[in-house]
Structure formats: structure tokens, C-alpha cells
Amino acid sequence: MNFMASKQPENSLLGPESDSQRTLYPYVTGTSVVALKYKDGILMAADMGGSYGSTLRYKSVERMKPIGKHSLLGASGEISDFQEILRYLDELILYDNMWDDGNSLGPKEVHNYLTRVMYNRRNKFNPLWNSLVLGGVKNGQKYLGTVSMIGVNFEDNHVATGFGNHLARPILRQEWHENLSFEDGVRLLEKCMRVLLYRDRSAVNKLQIAKITEDGVTISQPYSLKTYWEFSAFENPAQGAIGSW
């Protein structure tokens, strides 16, 4: 006879009251972040939408933040988890500054820290539901890396999260090259963001572009992209396949 009073299923490996303390699914989410390396550093773009399921609930969410002197963090996924990560990083940077030894954490170090945090949370079955993009420049070395919510991390010349992986990465693979100028980089990012705007239902037309170079971080004021909806293919989309949408 089993006289268990708790509500847990018998095959649960976790401790008591475990389910109410874990992240099971995201609530308020941000969509893709796209970033690339250019001549002087890193360019990163993200829109400012925070979706609550299929509703666009928040329209001024800053999903890119500077970290310390040398890094820029962009996040997609659960916004509250992103804010938690910012608190962790705040503490990390604070302790690093308290050493007051002239040394400061570079993007590689911050990326490594974030990877460890995301991986360990995943091992405890309580992930931080984010895909992070970490870019920065330190001592002339550009660095651009990404961490997913299960701890998968890598660095590359251009990265994207979420839908950006499907829609923006192919464009970047085709058109990215070494030593892009600032204008070319912005144009390329805007091209990616425009495609995402047309095709990602959780994208909003209010975006910021952030730049990080040896001199520091600049996050632009929010602005919108010009869109064109008069393409003849949009006019009667079911022309080639009557009955579809």
C-alpha cells in the first residue's frame, strides 16, 4: 500500500514541490537576434517586441545590453530569464571591478561564464529559456559567440537565434565577407531583419542596431524599417494554388 501524500508521479527523479519551481515553458518571449563581425567590431540587431504567446504585449523591450566594457549581450526567448541573466552578469562584473587590478572581463570570458550557467541550469532540469548572442572586442580581437538554452555554444563570423537561424543565416552565408564597412554591415543586418519582419509572425517593426568596437558600445535609438507590401505575388497569393492561403 502506498500512503504518499505528495502530488508527484512515482517515477519523478526530482525533490518535493519540484514542478512549481522549474521553468516548464516560456511566457513573455523575444524573437530573433542577428549579429555579425565587421571591420571595427560587432554589429547586432534585435527588435523590441515582447510577445505573450501570440499577443504582442510589450513593444519597447530592450533585448540587447552592454556587459562591462568589452561585451554586448543580445537575447531571445523568455524575457524574465534574460533579466535574471543580467543580474548574474551584473554581479560578475561587479566582483571583477572590485579586484581593481586593471584587468577586465572580455567577451570570451563572459561567453564562457554564460555557457557554464546555461549548461548547469539545463542539468538541473530548470533551464534559463534563452538563446544568447555575445559579441565584443578586446585588445583588437573581435569575438562573436552564441549559447542556447541547453548549453550548446559556438563562435562564428555571424550568428542568429530562433527564426534568424532559418531566414537570416543563409543570407549572411552568401553575403558576409571579412572587413565589412559599418554601412555595409548595417545594410546587411537590415536586409536580414526585413526578411524576418515579413516572415516571422512574432517580429515587430521597431528595432535597434547595436555596435561594439574597441571604443565601446553604442545602441541606436529604436527605428522602423521601410516595408513594401505591393509585390504582385502578395496580391493574390493563392493564384498558383487555389484553395490555399
Nearest CB to another protein, comparing residues 94 and 150: 150
For 157, residues 6+ apart whose C-beta sits below 8 A from its C-beta are: 36, 37, 144, 176
14 near another protein, judged by CB under 8 A: no
Q: What is the C-alpha to C-alpha distance for residues 229 and 19, in angstroms, rounded to an integer? A: 46
Q: What is the C-alpha to C-alpha distance for residues 82 and 72, in angstroms, rounded to an integer? A: 13
- The least distance separating another protein from the CB of residue 145, rounded to whole angstroms, comes to 10
Catalytic residue, from 23, 146, 218, 227: name it. Answer: 23
- The least distance separating another protein from the CB of residue 133, rounded to whole angstroms, comes to 13
Q: What is the C-alpha to C-alpha distance for residues 83 and 167, in angstroms, rounded to an integer? A: 27
Q: What is the C-alpha to C-alpha distance for residues 19 and 32, in angstroms, rounded to an integer? A: 28
Site for another protein in 108-147 (CB under 8 A): 115, 118-119, 122-123
Question: HSE of 71 in the Cβ direction (CA atoms, 13 Å)?
Answer: 27
Q: What is the C-alpha to C-alpha distance for residues 74 and 64, in angstroms, rounded to an integer? A: 4
Nearest CB to another protein, comparing residues 161 and 208: 161
E strand or H helix at 160, and its extent? Answer: strand 158-160
User: Which of 154, 179, 199, 237 touches another protein (CB under 8 A)?
Assistant: 154
For 11, residues 6+ apart whose C-beta sits below 8 A from its C-beta are: none
CB 41, CB 185: distance < 8 Å? no
Site for another protein in 160-189 (CB under 8 A): 165-166
150 near another protein, judged by CB under 8 A: yes
- The least distance separating another protein from the CB of residue 174, rounded to whole angstroms, comes to 12
31 near another protein, judged by CB under 8 A: no
> Is 213 known to be catalytic?
no
- The least distance separating another protein from the CB of residue 62, rounded to whole angstroms, comes to 26
Nearest CB to another protein, comparing residues 58 and 119: 119
| Site residues (vs another protein, CB under 8 A) | 115, 118-119, 122-123, 150-154, 156, 165-166
Q: Which residues are catalytic?
A: 23
